[in-house]
Amino acid sequence: MREFIVEADGGSRGNPGPAGYGTVVIDAATGETLVERAEFIGVATNNVAEYRGLLAGLRAVRELDPSATVRVRMDSKLVVEQMSGRWKIKHPDMKPLAGEAARLLPPAQVTYEWIPRERNKHADRLANEAMDAGRRGEQWDPEASRAALDTAAAARAAVTVPEPSGPPGDAAAGAAKAREALARGRTSSSSTEVESTEADATEADATESEMTGADSTGADPTKADSTEAEMTEAEITEVEMTKAEMAGSTGGGSTPAAAVGSAGGVTPARAAGSASGPADAADTDPTAVPKAAADVRAARTVAGPSGKPSVGWGSAPDLGAPATFVLLRHGETPLTPQKRFSGRGGTDPSLSDVGREQAERVAAALARRGTIQHILASPLARTRQTAGAVAARLGLEVTIEEGLIETDFGAWEGLTFGEVQERHPEDLTRWLGDPEAEPTGGGESFAATAARVAATRDKLVAAYAGRTVLLVTHVTPIKTFVRLALGAPPESLFRMELSAASLSAVAYYADGNASVRLFNDTSHLRP
Total count of residues recorded for the chain: 527
Residue 374 sits at φ, ψ, to 5 deg, of -145, 155
Q: How far is CA 324 from the centre of its chain?
A: 13
Angle between helix 147-158 and helix 121-135 axes, rounded to 10 deg: 140
Active-site residue (options: 228, 245, 401, 406): 406
- On whether the CB atoms of residues 151 and 121 are closer than 8 A, the answer is yes
d(C-alpha 42, C-alpha 16), whole Å = 10
- On whether the CB atoms of residues 123 and 7 are closer than 8 A, the answer is yes
d(C-alpha 29, C-alpha 385), whole Å = 4
Q: Name residue 8's beta-bridge partners.
A: 23, 74
Residue closest to 383 by CA, chosen among 407, 358, 405: 405
The amino acid at 10: G
Is 330 a known active-site residue?
A: yes
Please, which residues have CB within 8 angstroms of residue 488's CB and are 6 or more apart in sequence? none
Active-site residue (options: 330, 424, 474, 524): 330
Please, which residues have CB within 8 angstroms of residue 106's CB and are 6 or more apart in sequence? none
> What's the N-to-C CA distance of the chain in angstroms?
31
d(C-alpha 208, C-alpha 20), whole Å = 43
CA atoms within 13 A on the CB side of 7: 28
Pairing mode, strands 503-508 and 468-473: unpaired
For residue 3, the SS3 value is: strand
Residue closest to 205 by CA, chosen among 255, 155, 170: 170
Helix (H) / strand (E) element for 55: namely helix 46-64
DSSP 237-269: TTS---TTT-TTS-BSSS--TT------SS-HH
Is 406 a known active-site residue?
A: yes
Instruction: Return the active site residues.
Output: 330, 406
